[in-house]
A and B are shown apart, each in its own frame.
Chain A
Amino acid sequence: MTDYGHNLLFGTFVTPSAQQAQQVVELAVTADRAGLDLVTFQDHPYQPSFLDTATLLAFAAARTQRVHVVPNVANLPLRPPAVLARAAASIDVLSGGRFELGLGAGAFWDGVAAMGGRRLTPGQAVDALREGIEIIRDVWDTDERGGVHRRGEYYTVDGARRGPRPAHDIGIWVGAYKPRMLGVVGALADGWLPSLGYLPRGIDSLPELNARIDDAAQAEGRDPRAVRRLLNVMPVDFGSSTRGLLQGPAKVWAEQIAQVALEHGITGWIVGGDDAAQAERFGQEVAPAARELVAAERARQA
């Protein structure tokens, strides 16, 4: 049983289809109206049928009121960390603190190379991510004087301008599956953002992977609770019978979410499907019910 004690967050994973740009923005507005906490977009700049995710995030943030916008996850190899940090902080400032930074080390290296990016091995990409996160935090840290200076193995910054200062503490949520990446999550990140489909044994993988993050956090002298655990889940449906995680009646969704939240500490639930009706039910039926179940159980244990 690992409950890291975070409040629950609910969100959608919207395909950033360039051909349906207006519908994509509409889905963000739907998430906002449905009372969801997050609207997230994958980031594959080499995918010609997708919009630029950084642009979409700023646009969607301007069209919404309460929902937080999140790249899920930002492609670090094609988004140099100081540039990414400034865009993230700018959207955060413009939106009054509604940006969170999902971040990934990159994959699909052919695509990265085709865009003029640098091809790294998975191992190198982990080290580059570690350097990247440090630079991002430096750019956001406007209390320090002078520019940002770092000379790393993968990134160099020489006097990069600091700021803007984010309107709130932007969470850095890293997509990670392998031991070294999970180590970076534990040591440096504010959140862990995997997709259920990529977990080798689904939900059953969570204890082992959580433990790696916890160990890495403790090794750095951090409280494991400093790392929020989130999960992308797709496909999902509101069927009349239960066939799996988030595949069944809304009531069952809420029970499953509460159970996994309390047992494995997953407190961010992001569902795919590009389905407005589904997003509305997620925000209006599932989220309150799951919050109630989790609150009741936490109160019982306290």
Chain B
Amino acid sequence: MNLGVALDLARLDPGDASAVARLAEAGGLDLVAIAAAPGAQLDPWSAAVWVAGATTRVAVGVAQGEARPGSPADADVANPAVVAKARESLDALAPGRVLVGPDAWRTAPADATYEELEALAVDDRPVVVPVASVDDVRALVARVPARTPSRRSAAALARRVPGIAYDEVPASLVEHAIEPGDPGYRGVRSTYLRGGAPGLVLRPGTPDEVADALAFARRHRDVPLGIRSAGHGISGRSTNHGGIVIDLRRMNRIEVLDEERRLVRVGPGATWKQVANALDPYGWAIGSGDYGGVGVGGLATAGGIGLLSRNQGLTIDRVRAVELVLADGSQVRASAQENPELFWAVRGAGANFGVATAFELEAAPVGLVGWAQLAVVVPDLAQALVAYGRIAAEAPRDTTMFLMTGGARPGQAVLQLYGIVDDPDPDVVIERLTPFAEIGRLVQQRVVLTPYAGALASAADVGSDGHQGSGEPVSRSGLVDAVTPQLAADTARLLHSGEVYFFQLRHMGGAIRDVPADATAFAHRDALFSVAAMGSDDDALDAVWEPLRRHFDGLYLSFESSTDPRRLAEAFPEPTLARLRDLKRRYDPDGLLVDNFPLTLEEVSR
């Protein structure tokens, strides 16, 4: 039985509030609720927060504030948005200890005997006894058997979601699992760009534990399942509402396997910043994307268009072997020699085939590089885009420059150009950058010679506070082999629409093109630019994005948030798609892994 007290604010001496709450906690009770009391002068919210501050473990019950509609002119009606924020804040201050009532508990008569209290405890809801003094609490504690508080408070248990068998979480995962009522929940619920409220976050630390997690997920096919490495995904739904997340951040080991061959073994939960830092002492690097906070698992199974790609190929092109747990729980290794078909598929469509538990990657020697961040103001956006496209197309492989902008005003746009010249000679760096800097009026420039790790260093280290994304990212992707005047004109219209707050052209080509289209599940080897735009509304973004589609030959799934099945054929053109579908039938016939560009098994008419 969960047992607590309800503070009677009308009779309580406010000076005794701390003592009453602390005694309840020390007495092993589970909950101190603030009872609604019409005659009380004390503000119930302040009293509840006070009780939470005065104690450290016990759950605190707050009354569901009545949502009285009021105008800002009514001096006696709280602002509803501020009330909601107050509740979130108490959650942050007293994680997992807040229980919102009054239906969340049952109130017993003040003089109820232990037997009467037990009779009221017919479900999980705690039973509370009204108290107004230290003596009342003492009397209650004296008349019930000695109590040992349970690991999860009544408040924590009350936040469990339906449809998840919490009591059946495999023993290997119990210690690190996080539920909505747990203190660490805030740090694992959301991702970088997406707000979420999963019902259970499993955090395996070994392949066996990943298998246990997948077995648990197989018993919960009615709730969503997300697989998370570092939580930067746009297409990958690594959080959800009410479902299960398998969070791999604990599997973040980085070790050098073979110095001769520069072979490195990396866990899926490491970030690329960590990888870059670990390889830096060896004078090596593995090209990733353009942001150090991105996790290894998501990127190394999808593609990886980054600042070294034109010299090194995509990140998946550096993968020599992958170890993964398949949907059925079996653990396999895939490489050119072992399970070669699976190896082909996990490099580009990996999220469909298993949970990667380790990658073996071949690093390349990379010395000092020129890391450039330029900003130019351009009067004619379309013209500037064409110029960028031409200069980028003509650039040698050592030069990778991405273009980013956040929309445009009539007559003027600011373009951020950033990237790497993979050459330690400052004169070469300047020579390569000069044409880019001349695209417009240079208003900002920062160029440094740095190890590759320096270019990824700016990413914030995400600790136990996790990501705090909210809402849903809205993003579109396309691939092109040139920035034609028509594409530039359509892009300028897109950027003037006001619907796009982030737009990016990623410079591809070079070593990406050296790999045959059928060598991996990423088939778009001829693309020279990845085009991505982010907006805040799906329909509004589609409306302004549609005119660009005629220019595209495929898309890069990691920048596409749409779940429209028609996008599948753009991510995976035939014959890649047919081959992937065959493999999906073999490796995940029940469709357990569908959180990131799920391979539907049937053709969808376009």
Task: Show the binding face of A for B, using Cβ within 8 Å.
Answer: 18-22, 25, 45, 48-49, 51-52, 54-56, 58-63, 77-83, 86-87, 89-91, 93-96, 115-118, 132, 135, 150, 154-157, 160-161, 163-165
Q: From DSSP, what is the main secondary structure of chain B's interface residues?
A: helix
Bound Cα distance A95, B78 (Å): 23
Q: Which chain B residue shows the least CB distance to A165? A: B41
CB contacts under 8 Å to A, within B71-129, are 72-82, 85-86, 88-90, 92-94
CA distance A80 to B77 in the complex (A): 7
Interchain CA distance A150-B14 in the complex, whole Å = 29
Report yes or no: A80 in contact with B93, Cβ–Cβ below 8 A: no
Residue of A nearest to B95 (CB): A21
User: What residues of chain A lie closer than 8 Å to B82, measured between beta carbons?
Assistant: 45, 52, 78-79, 115
Given contacts A54-B46, A80-B77, A165-B41, 15 further A-B contacts (CB under 8 A): A21-B93, A22-B93, A45-B81, A51-B92, A54-B86, A55-B86, A62-B18, A78-B81, A80-B79, A90-B14, A118-B72, A157-B75, A160-B75, A161-B41, A164-B41
- Knowing A58-B49, A58-B50, A90-B47, the reply to whether A96 touches B15 (Cβ < 8 A) is yes
Write the residues of chain B forming the contact surface with A, with a CB cutoff of 8 angstroms. 14-15, 17-18, 41-43, 45-47, 49-54, 70, 72-82, 85-86, 88-90, 92-94, 465, 468, 470
Min CB gap B25→A, angstroms: 13
Closest CB of chain B to A18's CB: distance in Å? 5
Residue contact B88 to A156, C-beta cutoff 8 Å = no
- A94 with B73: CB separation less than 8 A: no
Q: Determine if B93 and A163 form an interchain contact, defined as CB atoms under 8 angstroms apart.
A: no
Chain B residues with Cβ below 8 Å from A55 are 45, 49, 86, 89-90, 93
* Structural contact, B76 and A160, CB atoms closer than 8 A: yes
Cβ of A96: which chain B residues have Cβ within 8 Å of it? 15
Most buried by A among B18, B74, B85, B465: B85
Point out the residues of chain A lying under 8 angstroms from B73, CB to CB: 118, 154-156
Chain B residues closer than 8 Å to A150, beta-carbon distance: 75
Supposing A59-B52, A62-B18, A94-B17 touch, asked if A52 and B79 sit within 8 A by C-beta, the answer is no
Given contacts A80-B72, A94-B14, A164-B41, contact A115 B89 (CB under 8 A): no
Cβ–Cβ contact A78 & B79, under 8 A? yes
Residues of A within 8 A of B79 (CB): 45, 78-80, 115-117
Q: Does B53 contact A61, Cβ atoms closer than 8 Å? A: yes
Contact status A25-B93, CB under 8 Å: yes
Question: Are A52 and B42 also in contact (CB < 8 A) when A81-B75, A115-B82 are?
Answer: no
Tell me whether A156 and B74 are in contact (CB under 8 A): yes
Is the CB–CB distance between A56 and B93 below 8 Å?
yes
In the bound complex, residues from chain A placing their C-beta under 8 Å from that of B72 are 77, 80, 116-118
What A residues does B75 contact at CB under 8 A? 80-83, 132, 135, 150, 155-157, 160
CB-based contact A45/B76 at 8 Å = no
**Roughly how many angstroms separate A49 CA and B467 CA in the complex, as a whole number?**
12
- Known contacts A117-B72, A155-B73; is A93 also within 8 Å of B89 by CB? no
For B470, the chain A residues whose CB sits under 8 A away are 48
Least CB distance, B92 to chain A, in whole angstroms? 4
Complex: how many Å from CA A61 to CA B82? Answer: 20
Bound complex: CA of A48 vs CA of B195, how far in Å? 13
Cβ–Cβ < 8 Å partners of A94 in chain B: 14-15, 17-18, 42, 46-47, 50
In the assembled complex, the CB of A271 is this many whole angstroms from the nearest CB of chain B, namely 24
Q: Residue of A at shortest CB range from B40?
A: A164
Nearest Cβ in chain A — how far from B480, in angstroms? 36
Instruction: Please state if B14 and A80 are interface contacts (CB–CB under 8 Å).
Output: no
A16's nearest neighbour on chain B, judged by CB, is: B89
The distance in angstroms between the C-alpha atoms of A56 and B53, with both chains bound, is 9
- CB within 8 A of A82: which of B15, B76, B85, B89? B76
Contact present for B465 and A93 (CB under 8 Å): no
Q: Note all chain A residues with C-beta closer than 8 A to B17.
A: 94
Complex A-B: 15 CB contacts under 8 Å: A18-B89, A25-B93, A45-B82, A49-B468, A56-B89, A58-B49, A61-B50, A79-B79, A80-B77, A86-B43, A94-B18, A155-B75, A156-B75, A163-B41, A165-B41
Please, which residue of chain B has its CB at the minimum distance from the CB of A51? B89
Q: Report yes or no: B74 in contact with A58, Cβ–Cβ below 8 A.
A: no
Asked if residues B54 and A21 are in contact (CB atoms below 8 Å), the reply is no
**Within the assembled complex, what's the spacing in Å between the Cα atoms of A111 and B345?**
48
B49 and A62 form a contact (CB under 8 A): yes
**In the complex, A94→B45 CA distance in Å?**
12
Q: Which residue of A lies closest to B17 (CB)?
A: A94
Q: Which residues of A contact B45 (CB under 8 A)?
A: 55, 58, 87
Across the interface, do A52 and B86 meet the contact criterion of CB distance under 8 Å?
yes
5 A-B pairs with the lowest CB-CB distances in the bound complex, closest first: A62-B53, A118-B72, A58-B49, A90-B46, A52-B89
The reply to whether A90 and B76 form a contact with Cβ atoms under 8 Å apart is no
Q: Which residues of A contact B51 (CB under 8 A)?
A: 62
Complex Cα distance, B601 from A209, in Å, reads: 75
Distance between B188 CB and nearest chain A CB, rounded to angstroms: 14
A118 closest partner in B (C-beta): B72
Question: Which one of A90, A160, A165 has the greatest number of beta carbons of chain B within 10 Å?
Answer: A90
* Distance to closest chain B CB from A7 (angstroms): 25
Q: Smallest CB-CB separation from B18: which chain A residue?
A: A62
Residue of chain A at shortest CB distance from B466: A19
Q: Is the CB of A164 within 8 A of B86?
A: no
**Chain B contacts for A45, CB-based, 8 A:** 79, 81-82, 85
Q: Are A83 and B78 in contact (CB under 8 A)?
A: yes
Within 8 Å CB of B465, what residues of A? 19-20
Contact A116 B80 (CB under 8 A): yes
Q: Which residue of B lies closest to A161 (CB)?
A: B41
**Which of B49, B77, B88 makes the CB contact (< 8 A) with A83?**
B77
B89 touches A58 (CB 8 A): no
* Chain B residues within 8 Å of A19, by CB: 465, 468
Determine the chain B residues whose CB is within 8 A of the CB of A51 once the complex forms: 89, 92-93
Rounded to whole Å, the gap between the CB of A266 and the closest CB of chain B is: 31
Most chain A C-beta atoms within 10 Å of own C-beta, residue among B49, B86, B94: B49
CB distance from B89 to the nearest CB of A (A): 4
Known contacts A80-B74, A164-B14; is A62 also within 8 Å of B43 by CB?
A: no
A299 to B295, CA, bound (A): 66
Q: Which residues of B sit under 8 angstroms from A48, Cβ to Cβ? A: 470
A130 to chain B, nearest CB (A): 13
Please indicate which of the listed interface residues A25, A52, A87, A115 has the most CB atoms of chain B within 10 Å of its own CB: A52
| A residues near B80, Cβ cutoff 8 Å | 116
Given A59-B90, A118-B72, A156-B75, A52 contacting B85 (CB threshold 8 A)? yes
Chain A residues near B90: list those with CB within 8 A: 52, 55, 59
**Among A58, A62, A80, contact of B76 (Cβ-Cβ < 8 Å):** A80
Rounded to whole angstroms, the CA-CA distance of A78 and B561 in the bound complex is 36
The answer for the CA separation of A245 and B605 in the assembled complex, in Å, is 72
Cα-based distance from A112 to B66 in the complex (angstroms): 22
A59 contacts B53, C-beta separation under 8 Å = yes
- C-alpha spacing A60/B75, complex, angstroms: 26
Contact B53 A90 (CB under 8 A): no
Residues of chain A contacted by B78 (CB below 8 angstroms): 80, 83
> A155–B17 Cα gap in the complex (Å)?
33
Q: How far is the CB of B153 from chain A (nearest CB, A)?
A: 17
Looking at the assembled complex, report how far the CB atom of B84 sits from the nearest CB atom of chain A, in whole angstroms: 9
Which residue from chain B places its CB closest to the CB of A54 in the assembled complex? B86
Report B-chain residues with C-beta under 8 Å of the C-beta of A115.
79, 81-82
Known: A18-B89, A80-B76. A58 touches B53 (CB 8 A): yes
Specify which chain B residues have a CB less than 8 angstroms from the CB of A89 in the assembled complex. Answer: 43
Given contacts A116-B81, A155-B73, contact A62 B52 (CB under 8 A): yes
Q: What residue of chain A has the Cβ atom nearest to residue B43's Cβ? A: A90
Distance from B155 Cβ to chain A, minimum over Cβ atoms (Å): 16
B-chain residues with CB within 8 Å of residue A116 when the two chains form the complex: 72, 79-81
Q: With both chains docked as a complex, state the minimum distance between the C-beta of B220 and any C-beta of chain A, in angstroms.
A: 30
Distance of A115 Cα from B83 Cα, bound (Å): 11
Indicate if the CB atoms of A93 and B52 lie closer than 8 Å. no
Please report the C-alpha to C-alpha distance between residue A93 and residue B12 in the assembled complex, in whole angstroms: 12
**What is the bound-complex CA distance between A90 and B42, given in angstroms?**
5
A residues near B70, Cβ cutoff 8 Å: 80
Cα distance, A240 to B73, chains bound together (Å): 52
Report the nearest A residue to B54, measured CB to CB: A62
